Chains A and B, each alone.
Chain A
Amino acid sequence: MPPPEPASTTLDGLTREAARLGAGGAAPAAAFNALPLTDAEGEVARQMQICNACRYCEGSCAVFPAMTRRLEFGKADVHYLANLCHNCGACLHACQYAPPHEFGINVPKAMAVVRAQTYSDYAFPQALGALYRHNGLLVSLAIAGGLALFLALAVALKGGLWHEPLAGNFYAVFPHNLMVVMFGSVFGFAMLALGIGVTRFWRNVSPGEVPEGGNAPAAAEAVHNALKLKYLDGGHGEGCHNEDDRFNTTRRLYHHFTFYGFMLCFASTSVATIYHYAFGLQAPYAYTSLPVILGTLGGIGLLVGPVGLWRLKTQRHPMHGDSAQNPMDYGFLALLFLVSLTGLLLMVLRNTGAMGLLLAVHLGVVMALFVTLPYGKFAHGIFRSAALLKWAIERRLPSRLRLGSD
């Protein structure tokens, strides 16, 4: 028995209510939602219409429960759902309408195509959005450029790449302030660009309402789901798909290695910054110091994670996801791996005459990573987190639909 309906039982009341139900409720970005769809967005809308009449995958992830709160799929809905999708593949392998069925339902792929489009659409500055579409090339150029820059700098500042051992004194090669200015400004720009992009995304998809009890529980839930990769668990905790219809947790595991490795490296840098400015403690730090321990652990994560993800990706089922984005994905994994590899080598060999060369190479790769952050795979984490937040808020709001049951 469906839940009881509200009291609007007069014809007039019913009519007004129906109009509201049909519109999916008044969203602040209703005008945006009504804009014409691109081909890729239209394909998601087409598939969601079919999925919404089936709903078998409701327990797999957040996309399908979010879908059931809608009757129509406008631009904002499609952007939101595409970024909520984690590409786990559960709905593809379970789908009675997947190819070769004439409905041709492949939600992970349709969502992935739109995701890439949203990164590009919301990019700041807008003109650089096209970089996503040529991301493999961008990453290659960034690495080449970064390397060239620092190798040239090293030669210019020190007169050569090889030197007498300097006991790990990086600043003897590149002055501290020079590095701060260079990396601070590039990283700052990356964060600014991503921040502007995700803000514009959020304005379009925002629930526009605050659930009872405020937004804090929703925010906590979104953080939890993001940090845990909740929606790579298949809905039953056994993980996601890779090469076939078997579930496994390896993708989640390698993603954890990658993400937490990255965060440990970030923590290492932050601690070192505090050491430097607050305590006047200058690099190089001892192997047993906090920055080195954090950086080493993070570096190991950033070796293991990207290698694992790369290997899984080469084995992925051909229908699963959008292979057109492989250059972007592989490019990002390669960058993370190189950052870690060069960083660890630098740490081990910092007391040798190769330090200058290694430092230049490492900084070149790090620079390439920073430059490409707002225009590459890194963006997925930002947009996915925003979508998770919206879902956590939305699911706390009462549904606007009053569907009868079947």
Chain B
Amino acid sequence: MVDVLVIGGGNAALCAALMAREAGASVLLLEASPREWRGGNSIHTRNLRCMHDEPQDVLTEAYPEEEYWQDLLKVTGGITDEKLARLAIRHSSTCRPWMIKHGVRFQNSLSGTLHLSRTNAFFLGGGKALVNAYFRSAEKLGVEIRYDTKVDRIELVNGEFRAAYVGDQRIEAKACVVSSGGFESNREWLREAWGQHEGEWVADNFLIRGTRYNTGVLLKQMLEAGADKIGDPAQCHAVAIDARAPLYDGGICTRVDCVSLGIVVNRDGRRFYDEGEDFWPKRYAIWGRLVAFQPGQIAYSIIDAKAVGRFMPPVFPGEKANDLPTLARQVGLDPDDFMKTVNEYNAACKVGTFDHSVLDDCHTEGLTPAKTHWALPLDTPPFYAYALRPGITFTYLGVKIDENASVQFGGVPSRNLFAAGEVSAGNVLGKGYLAGIGVTIGTAFGRIAGAAAAHAALAPANSKPEGALSAAA
């Protein structure tokens, strides 16, 4: 019988497998996807948010624990677990040498991400390079890896793991780490979680920015078996992305960031939110949800020639026209309704000193909703339109864990069942988003879970996994 079974093949799963193997356990890792799609959503990541008290190789200045915690508190609105959150935050200050040991390499923050150079350590080549490095290291250390191996269910007895089933095959292990992701690519579940809004099934028009393999099978099963639940099924990382993005795995490049430089209208040609409210990180996190509650779950970001060259290049070229009514017709908006919105907006613009790098004084007056910054009239052809849809990165519903990453059943931690990654990220991140926090949570609890699982598998019964924890710290 194998000591530790790891279910999943993303960052958290790999961290768990490597830690368990380093602790001397025999490890079997089951990845649902074929080899070329291995790594789940981790292949789309690019950095982890790191606590540090002084400048480090690729990190500038300092990002102390308290500031990190306050940032997290702010975005989650308090829907977090301080003990687990601080554990992950502290973990982020010490895990990078271990990552480097397993082949991960870091690079300076990418052009256009200068504001992240203090807080986020970028992986050279991005998340797929990280996943490749971890798989190489795992193979070298003797972790057994099986691709195309989807676990259908796990056998639990009183909250204790006995075996996993792949079809009819029963795979026993002394301990198990479930790191099989959230349920963002389970369309049925998404539909049910988001429900209907004005007669429309909201989630039917969502695009999934990540893997198609995160169907939440084991999450659902653990919850049905009595694991304690954490988080709201409709909470997730949702951003507004180009409507032409692929249904799955569109990743980072499908984001559209000209929202603040023009106006955004819905299917009826009406504005519905202050486009100039805030900078990118805040915008990024809210516009997916805003579009989700517009009719047809679609919106159109409209800019004029003045905006060109002032935002991150979009992956698809925008719809382009030399006058606004033509542009409206091209994207299927009623030109009259649309022009009414534009004319009202243009007339309401009070142009001051435009400066995209600060919350400037260009704003609208007497317009609802207002555009509070960067408000310039749309008057310079050519004009461009980008259709937007909600893009779901990952869901926050999960199983409740303790500081050993043990899955809790009725408040009692399981002896040998652990959860890490998206499947338990909701413990720390109940709402909102902070750039790079997903990888930090996955790395911290993946490593903790791996060490704890090895301990559970190898140590005599009833001994506490303190050793495992300190190994992971």
**What is the interface of chain A, defined by CB distance below 8 A to chain B?**
1-5, 9, 11, 14-15, 18-19, 21-22, 49-50, 52-60, 65, 68, 71, 90-91, 93-97, 100-103, 235-236, 238, 245-246, 400-406
Contacts and interface: CB of A to CB of B under 8 A. Distances in A.
Nearest to B105: A236
Given A52-B313, A404-B280, 11 more contacts: A2-B115, A18-B305, A18-B306, A19-B308, A22-B305, A53-B254, A54-B315, A58-B111, A68-B112, A71-B308, A90-B129
A18 B380 CA distance: 10
Contacts of A90: 125, 129
Contacts of B36: 100
B95 interface: no
A15 B122 CA distance: 35
Interface stretch (B15-23, B245-253, B458-466): B245-253
A53 B113 contact: no
A65 B351 CA distance: 35
Interface in B300-333: 305-317
Given A14-B306, A54-B251, A404 B126 contact: no
Nearest to A238: B105
Given A54-B251, A58-B107, A235-B105, A91 B125 contact: yes
Q: Is the interface of B mostly helix, strand, loop or mixed?
A: loop
B124 A235 contact: yes
Contacts of B112: 55, 68, 403-406
B249 A101 contact: yes
B142 to A, nearest CB: 17
Interface stretch (B71-79, B286-294, B354-362, B442-450): B354-362
B356 A60 contact: no
B356 A53 contact: no
B71 to A, nearest CB: 16
Nearest to A71: B313
11 contacts: A14-B306, A18-B305, A49-B317, A53-B253, A54-B253, A55-B111, A58-B107, A58-B111, A96-B251, A236-B105, A405-B312
Contacts of B127: 56, 96
Interface residues of B, number: 59
Contacts of B433: none
A52 B312 CA distance: 8
Given A53-B315, A102-B246, A235-B105, A60 B125 contact: yes
A152 to B, nearest CB: 56
Nearest to A246: B136
A56 B305 contact: no
Contacts of A9: 353-355
A21 B357 contact: no
Nearest to B36: A100
Contact of A18 (B105, B111, B309): B309
B132 interface: yes
Given A94-B125, A403-B312, A406-B255, A3 B357 contact: yes
Contacts of A93: 125, 128-129, 132
B312 A11 contact: no
B129 A22 contact: no
B380 A15 contact: yes
Contacts of B124: 59-60, 235-236
A176 B224 CA distance: 92
B113 A406 contact: yes
Interface string B124-148: 1111110010001000000000000
Nearest to B58: A59
A21 B305 CA distance: 10
A402 B115 CA distance: 15
B398 to A, nearest CB: 24
A322 B306 CA distance: 40
B246 A96 contact: no
Contacts of B132: 93-94, 245
A65 B308 contact: no
B257 interface: yes
Given A1-B115, A405-B112, A57 B309 contact: no
B347 to A, nearest CB: 15
B455 interface: no
A330 B310 CA distance: 46
Contacts of B355: 4-5, 9
Given A2-B356, A2-B357, A18 B253 contact: no
A400 B354 CA distance: 18
Contacts of A103: 246
B309 A21 contact: yes
B308 A18 contact: yes
A236 B107 CA distance: 9
B157 interface: no
Q: Which 4 A-B pairs have the closest CB atoms?
A: A21-B309, A56-B126, A59-B107, A94-B125
B111 A402 contact: no
B280 A15 contact: no
B111 A65 contact: yes
A5 B46 CA distance: 27
B215 to A, nearest CB: 19
Contacts of B123: 56
B126 A97 contact: no
Interface string B378-410: 011000000000000000000000000000000
B35 to A, nearest CB: 11
A53 B309 contact: no
Given A1-B115, A91-B125, A245-B136, A96 B44 contact: yes
A18 B310 contact: yes
Interface in B248-285: 249, 251-255, 257, 260-261, 280, 284
